[in-house]
Structure 1
């Protein structure tokens, strides 16, 4: 499973020629930042202005300075940076909303008698049963009418709704394992329901919340079909952008590998930060007393 990731990282540090060499080069190549430079700098305009003053050169980013030293023309930062920023905004916001709303819904299903609870839970789960391609066209037409096409809000709402089923079901399982007696004892001591939820339930549910957050973030971060069909320029995310990275000589495989590597890093960082909670969360409730 790690072999593709290893090969992707290896390719990102190869030159254009080494990336397409036959047979493939594993160790007998000279590492270079050419892939990252081609990814991060926009050199589509061949007659770009030359930097004349020292200030213009000082204001360059590190990858632009390397490109300039190699005699390459600089026109600005590539669209990949903006698309990666869109991914962070959309995936992060939708994950936070899905976890908050899912936590409240899961708490209601776990602690109160909801009429038709099983039917509601099945309905919530059914929103994930249809493949995205089945509902893409209807959502596209609806978004065009509502003015949500190619907007951050449109994708945030969509990802939040699709993640709700996951968050509700996961968090309900975690909350069911927390004894109700803790809350009842807190309310006997004068806590309100909200105070008991905030001071008693939430601290014990942190592991489950962390695990649910990671799973929700992975879906929103990696989602491809909706991002491809429902956006064009302004709100397009990184997944539909990476396969379209082209250079003057055709497909830039080293730049695509560099873009994929950069796209992988934020999720790895989040998972690493939450790893302790995540490991406890995925096994929480597995053993019953």
Structure 2
């Protein structure tokens, strides 16, 4: 990692070299029906097919491999998560022989909790607030003398997530814009860093503004409506200022479309990007943005509790 408290394109390429033997190069899928609906060509990067069911595996593995290289004596890690980062870190830790503890709120979907345990991690439950997640996580880190690995606000995590853009632009070189769901912002920061280095004219669009609170939303992967201290300067500099906001009803509509017409299983958080493409705001965007990329970032949906039931 660079010494300037930022991530560079070189960091992303280094991450790609480290993690490529262990993660999938996920496919790009399209829908002619959606293209006709929105009047643009839309390309979906299906990170829902990634190890552990989400893009989070990229950043988690890069962070763990970097940690072990810098601190060979480390024996474990801890994090807090809405579920997907927890699964990814548990998987990555198991790959290199580290203990892993994941703090989740009591209302985290059972399917995600079971997956975290199946990857070999210890699970600790807390009250359903972001503050309690942090409090319990910090306590465990101190008591067990193990480092905390952030879901997003970590340069190694960002570099790992940036590998999505390297692959995506290799698969679809003519992309004019990429829509990225944003919570703390690790994926957005990593993708923006890589995409702007490869194609400076490309635009990135955010989905959420930034008050520091949990969103009351079915999209649990982006409920934390607060960019990180490390991700914020990167996103501020590299990402377009246009923000798409979508409602739960829009997310459900988009999720149903992907299930029914594209035959893909995605979480509500992934559907937020699809909803943005289908929105009136997207229709009013620069018509020169002909080729639009969307990250289908998560696929760990609780099939026993689909949001339209």
Normalised to the residue count of structure 2, the TM-score between the two structures is: 0.23
User: Larger % of strand: which?
Assistant: 2
Name the larger-Rg structure.
Answer: 1
> Which structure has more RCO (C-alpha within 8 Å, separation ≥ 6)?
1
User: Larger % of helix: which?
Assistant: 1
